[in-house]
Amino acid sequence: MAPARGQSPALRGQWAFGAGRVSLEIVLGASAGGAAATIDLEELLATRLLVQGNSGSGKSHLLRRILEQSAPHVQQIVIDPEGDFVSLADKFQHIVVDANRSEADLDCIAARVRERRVSVVLNLENLEQSLQLRAAAIFLDGLFEAPRAHWYPALVVVDEAQLFAPMASGDVSDEARRVSLTAMVNLMCRGRKRGLAGIIATQRLAKLAKNVAAEASNFLMGRTMLDIDMARAADLLGMERRQAEMFRDLPRGSFVGLGPAIARRAVQIKVGSVETASRGVTPRLMPPPDMSDADSEEILAPAPVSAPRIVERKPPPAPSTTDIFAEIARAEEAAAPDEESATPMLSAEERDHRCRQIVHEMVSDETGSRPEGALYQDFQIRCRIQRLPGALPGLDEFRGWLEDGRAGVTPEEAATEAWRRVVDVARTVPSDLRGVFVLFAHAAMRGEPCPSDLDVARMCGTRSVGRARNRLQQLDRQGAIVLRNTMKGARIAVLPDLGWETLAGDPAAPARDGAVERLAG
């Protein structure tokens, strides 16, 4: 394995031979006796690592040392809540991913990261805490749900892990905590078989969920002040409780390490230097400037009476697209009342048909993933261009037409009595599952094979087959559809409320017409 450009192998890692195996060791720093303290990368990929230390103990410095030393040898994925590790991109080949984007984008990027084996830093600093948890969960799920062919080895570093796997609920919503905790448990418990080796760092063990911390076999414990955290650290390292006091005395940048990838007995390690700098600022002493009597009088002087007070006036918020369209409609009605009254109003069936035609054209032209709000604005613009009379349709109506269009329902099929039955039954299905139900109902109505997992993923706006299967299981549990498997593994979907069923279809078949690739861009 080649060292990084411009670096000797000794600076980036050293090969170790013994016991019939070859491993690569990177140098963390120096042990108490002065010998080099190393960590076995091959063993680390199989056994995971937990880092703990109070704020200012040097956790981020330690993680940066591990990342820099191992960068030439293994793919790295960093979940960075504070933007501290984006500087890795300046010297190494890490790609910085701003998490302030759509869920579909995050899921798609995660899949590409696993496929192309690039090192990335997921920068969460521009999101508030609940959104940080949700974005990290989506990204980790995307890594976890990658196809088996892309299960390459990778280090997944999660800084401030107590935020993403908290022991108890805090200021964030229960939903955000649940999805984030599930993703972290998957990473630490099931990630090894998928090549994902978790490295998690936390300020306090007492705040970290036990089922996440318990999966680590390697430990690096830094300075800790609270009794409960010292006791847990001592237990994890197999030390007696009376020895736990040593964690209070550890200097900044020193850690006690233990584990199959580090050492068989607890060893104190002084972490070595790093090449890149954190964007975080360590407080330094700065004496205040000398003040004269004149300076004091100037600071305490009242504001000049004659000085005009400048008040910054913020411009009014920009009107929404819906407000603009409504204003245009009112202006047209006032300017040409006779012409408007002469325009024949459409019946409900004709209006539905015209709107479905517009949505059908939008779906046919769709070449990438766009947010629902942007699609709705595009729909409103097309309605105005085609001079659709009456009030503009609402978002709920548009959402139903869009789901039908993505399922392949034509405006002519939507006007049939059979599809009206589907619409009636779909009203009893939860809104987040309606699109998948419509997809299967349309296939059954046409007598086509059962849609594949990729077809379902496309309807859900994701590339994750795991999420698609989860939606199917929810529909199956509710009885909206009943899934059956043939002896050869094909799938048949029965729709009891409609009395229909699909033909047998392969769940692993590719998406129809490359829909998933079109959606993911």
Residues 128 and 34 placed together within one structural domain of the fold: yes
The structural domain count of the chain equals 3
Supply angle C-alpha 94, 78, 192, rounded to 5: 115
Whichever domain contains 234, its CATH number is 3.40.50.300
Q: What pLDDT is stored for residue 244 in this prediction?
A: 72
How does residue 6 score in pLDDT terms, banded at 50, 70 and 90? very low
CA angle in degrees (0–180, nearest 5) for 321-329-363: 50
Domain-ending residue, one of 360, 388, 407: 407
Is 84 within a domain? yes
- Within a domain: 76: yes
Handedness of CA 249, 251, 252, 256 (dihedral sign): negative
Q: Please, what is the angle between helix 465-478 and helix 129-144, to 10°? A: 100
8 Å CB contact between 218 and 258:
yes
pLDDT in tens, 48-76: 999 988 888 888 899 999 999 999 999 99
Residue 339 covered by a domain: no
Residue that terminates a domain, selected from 376, 407, 438:
407
389 shares its domain with 449 = no
Alpha-helical regions (H) of 427-464: 434-446, 453-459
Q: 401 with 429, same domain?
A: no
Reported as a single tens digit per residue, the pLDDT across 335-376 is: 555 444 445 677 888 888 888 888 888 888 775 567 777 788
pLDDT at 341: 47
Do 392 and 488 reside in the same domain of the chain? no
Give residue 238's region: left, alpha or beta (phi > 0; psi -120 to 50): left
Check if the beta carbon of residue 239 is closer than 8 Å to that of residue 188.
no
Strand partners, 121: 78, 96
Position 278 in a domain: no
Kindly state whether residues 92 and 150 are assigned to the same domain. Answer: yes
Domain, as residue range, for 403: 321-326+345-407
Domain boundary among 246, 271, 296: 271
**Pairing of β 263-271 and β 500-501:** unpaired
- Cα 442 from Cα 409, distance rounded (Å): 7
Residues 149 and 257 in one domain: yes
Residue 307 resides in a domain: no
Lowest model confidence (mean pLDDT) among 79-93, 386-400, 422-436: 386-400
Burial of 466 (0-12, 13-18, 19+ CB in 10 A): middle
Torsion of CA 263, 269, 271, 272, to 10 degrees: -90
Q: How confident is the model at residue 183 (pLDDT cuts 50, 70, 90)?
A: very high
Count CB-CB contacts under 10 A for residue 344: 7
Looking at the structure, tell me whether residues 63 and 83 fall in a common domain: yes
**Tens digits of per-residue pLDDT, 303-319?**
676 545 444 555 555 55
Residue 210 lies in a domain: yes
- Per-residue pLDDT reduced to its tens digit, 371-428: 777 788 888 888 878 888 877 788 888 888 888 888 888 989 888 999 989 999 998 8
* 483 lies in the same domain as 450: yes
- Tens-digit pLDDT profile for residues 232-260: 777 777 777 777 777 887 888 899 888 89
**What is the structure's pLDDT at 430?**
87
pLDDT for the residue 521: 36
484: three-class secondary structure by DSSP: strand
- pLDDT score for 238: 74
Asked, for residue 125, whether it belongs to a domain, the answer is yes
Are 81 and 212 found together in one domain?
yes
Same domain (yes/no): 139, 100: yes
Is 436 in contact with 489 (CB distance < 8 Å)? no
41: three-class secondary structure by DSSP: helix
> In terms of domains, do 184 and 96 share one?
yes
**β-pair type (36-40, 263-271):** unpaired
Contacts of 25 (CB under 8 A, 6+ apart): 13, 14, 15, 16, 38, 39, 40, 41
* Secondary structure (3-state) at 444: helix
Q: Per-residue confidence at 290, pLDDT binned at 50, 70, 90?
A: confident
Residue 285 falls within a domain, yes or no?
Answer: no
Mean pLDDT of the region 267-291: 78
Does the pLDDT at position 441 exceed 50? yes
Is 483 found in the same domain as 391?
A: no
**pTM over 0.75, yes/no:** no
* pLDDT above 90 as % of the chain: 24
For residue 316, what pLDDT is reported?
A: 55
